[in-house]
Structure formats: C-alpha cells, structure tokens
Amino acid sequence: MLQSKRTQRYAWIAATAIGLSAFLGATPAAAAYPDKSVRIIVTFPPAGATDILARIVAQKLTEESGKTFVVENRAGAGGNVGMEAILRSAPDGYTIGMIITSHAINMSMPNKPNYDVTKDLVPLVNLTLSNNVLVVHPSVPANTVQELVDLSKSGKMSLNFASPGNGTTPHLSGELFKQMTGAKMSHVPYKGAGPAMNDLIGGTVQIMFDAITTAAPQIEANRVRPLGVTGIKRSPVLPNIPTISEAGVPGYQIDGWIGMIAPAGTPPEIVDWLGKNITKVVETQEIQDKIKEMGLVYADMGPDKFKDFIAAEVKKWEAIIKKSEATND
C-alpha cells in the first residue's frame, strides 16, 4: 500500500514537471541552447558576399553568446550541394545555413533540386537585399532606359546582353526587362561575372545587368555607362542612378537577397532564439557599417516575414523562367 502511494506521488510530481515544462514553452534541451558549437553552412565558395556576411555574423554571435559559431563552405551545383547538407542535418539548431536568391530560382529550373525551399526549411532571418545595375558599353548610343529600348527595337544596332550564366539573377534581370519592355536583345551566358564584364568593357557584348558592388568601379572609371538599378529603391552606392522602374518601366523589380535558415522540424524555441539573436547582432552599428560597405541593404525580416517573402520569390521567378524558357544547363 505504501509502495502504491509512493508510486502515485512520484507519478504526480513527474506529470506536474512535464506540465510546467510545456507551460514554459521549452524542453530542457531547447532551454539550454546553445550548449555546444553551431555550424553555419555557406552554400558557395569562400570570399563571396554570402561567405563574408556569414563570417561576420558568426564572429559576432560567438562574441555575444559565448558559444562558438563556425562557418563551413559546401559549394557546388548552384548552391544545391550545401543546401542539401543543411536540410539533411538534425533539426536541433546546431546546423544552420545561408540561403540566397538562387535557391528560390532553382525551384523552377528544369534541373530541379531534391528539396523545396517552401517546405523543407525554417526561415530564420533575411539579412540583406542587393540589386543589379543595367550598364552598357560607351559605344551604345543610349543614355536612358527608354533610349535603350527604342534602340533595340529600331534594328539599327544588334544588342547582346551578357550574364554570369544561365539562371543567374543578372540573366533573369535581363529576361524580365525584355518581357516588360519588348526590348530586342540576345542573351550571352558566360562562366562567371568577371569574364562577362571583361567582354562588355571590350565591346564584344553591349549590355549587362551586373551586381552593383562589382560594377561600381567600372562605372567610376567610365568603362561602362549605368542606366538604371533593378531594385525598388535607389542604391546607396549609386544614389544618382534611377531605378529601372523610375526610368520608365513601372513595376520592374529584381532584388537579390541573403538570409539564414534551419532544417524543417527545428524546435520553435530554438528558431526564436536564433531569429532574435541574429537580428540583434546584425543591427549593431559595426555590422550595419559592413553591410553598407559591401553595397548591400539591411532587409530586416524575421522568421514569419521571411517565410512569406521566400514563397513570393519562388512564384515570381517561376513566372519569369516559364516565359523566358531559361535553363540552368
């Protein structure tokens, strides 16, 4: 009898503890997070904007939390190799990663990845937005977006636009431009932005939608002429250059972006911790200054807003890709 009462008492205590834990909204493991190193997988090689931003955030998170956040590069297949590594990891918050525009684009390409960015991951924060800039070779007799469109339709000059490759944001920036303006110009894919810009400077091609950060030095040196930026707002790097929408193509907008995600199934408490703490460190003046130096704009999107943003991006790119018949071959 005594043993029975004692057993009942222990059962009541255990049930109360479980109920209290549920009420507080955290399991013991989640409450202790992070209690070991956290791995941040970058889906592209070192030294690019995504890698640089990840390392800046990792260093600051390490300083603020007292735990180690380490960056690991897993490049290949347009970011798909690294993304699959992230999504195959245990959903415990100890492997998170970077996501960029290309991952949303890949969802609608003929060679689709083995994951779905709207279902297989948990958005944490969208860190930055970035734009491309429409530039032309100085020999092109067009000083505005409308003059370029008119020139392309006139038949007076054969116009080709370069890109770092099929399915990249510069490529699709050009395809959307053609769709919205009726401009006549042919796409010439290269194996990277460097070779594409070299041929633009040399006059082999006439047009390019290039990342502002890499195009700015060529613009400053008068090697290429800027006509418009692709974002919804003017770039702080090129404040005197209008957006393409301002310049006569209302509604035109292409924003590149870099964010952070975790595998689907990561506990809400850990998602909340990561979202709040990443946002906290990114909003420090130190990192805000570095973001501006990189020619990027702070996105300021937490988990819920970023989730809706990713879904909208997938739909937007799907429409552009379907109409242009773009491939990622």
The pLDDT tens digits of the residues spanning 68-106 come to 999 999 988 878 899 999 999 999 999 999 999 989 999
Our count of domains for the chain comes to 2
Residue 240 counted as domain residue: no
Give the predicted TM-score (pTM) of the model. Answer: 0.78
Task: Output the six-digit token pair for 32.
Answer: 């202790």
Residues 60 and 196 in one domain: no
Residues 174 and 108 in one domain: no
Residue 301 counted as domain residue: yes
In whole angstroms, what is the distance from residue 13 CA to residue 4 CA?
14
Residues 158 and 208 in one domain: yes
Sign of CA dihedral 102, 126, 317, 190: negative
What are the C-alpha distances in Å from 160 to residues 61, 172, 205, 322?
45, 14, 5, 21
Residues 209 and 139 in one domain: yes
Task: Output the six-digit token pair for 159.
Answer: 């116009």
Q: Which of 194, 229, 264 is the last residue of a domain?
A: 229
Q: Which of 211, 229, 247 is the last residue of a domain?
A: 229
Q: Which of 183, 214, 229 is the last residue of a domain?
A: 229
The CATH number given to whatever domain includes residue 303 is 3.40.190.150
- The domain of 220 spans 132-229
The pLDDT tens digits of the residues spanning 1-49 come to 434 444 444 444 444 434 333 333 444 445 689 999 999 999 988 888 8
Residue 55 counted as domain residue: yes
Q: What is the SS3 assignment for 48-104?
A: CHHHHHHHHHHHHHHHHHCCCEEEEECCCHHHHHHHHHHHHCCCCCCEEEEEEHHHH
> Quick check: 58 and 116 in contact, CB under 8 A?
no
Residue 45 counted as domain residue: yes
Query: How large a percentage of the chain has pLDDT more than 90?
Result: 70
Q: Which residues pair with 301 in a beta bridge?
A: 126
